[in-house]
Structure 1
Amino acid sequence: MANERTDRLQYDLSKIGTRLRALRRERSWTLEDLAERTGLSRAYLSRMEGGERQPSLSALSEVAHAYGISFSSLFVPEPEVQNGVIVRGRDAAVQRGRGLLYSRLSTSDWAFNLQPMQVVVPAERDEGEALYHHEGEQWLYVLSGKLGLNLSGEDSVLEPGDAAHFDADQQHRLTALDGRDAEIILVACAVPYLLLRSYL
Structure 2
Amino acid sequence: MRNGAGGTHPDHPTPDHPDPLETRLAARLARLRVEHGWSLDDLAHRTGISRSTLSRLERAQISPTAALLGRLCAAYGRTMSRLLAEVETTPSHLVRADRQPVWHDETSGFTRRSVSPPHTGLRGEIIEGILRPGADISYDAPPVPGLEQHIWVLDGTLHVTADDHTHDLRAGDCLRFRLWGRSRFHCPGPQPVRYAVMIILP
Which structure features the higher share of helix residues? 1
Q: Give me the TM-score of the superposition, normalised by structure 1.
A: 0.48
Task: Give the TM-score taking structure 2 as reference length.
Answer: 0.47
User: Which one has the largest radius of gyration?
Assistant: 1
Which structure has more relative contact order (CA 8 Å, sep 6+)? It is 2
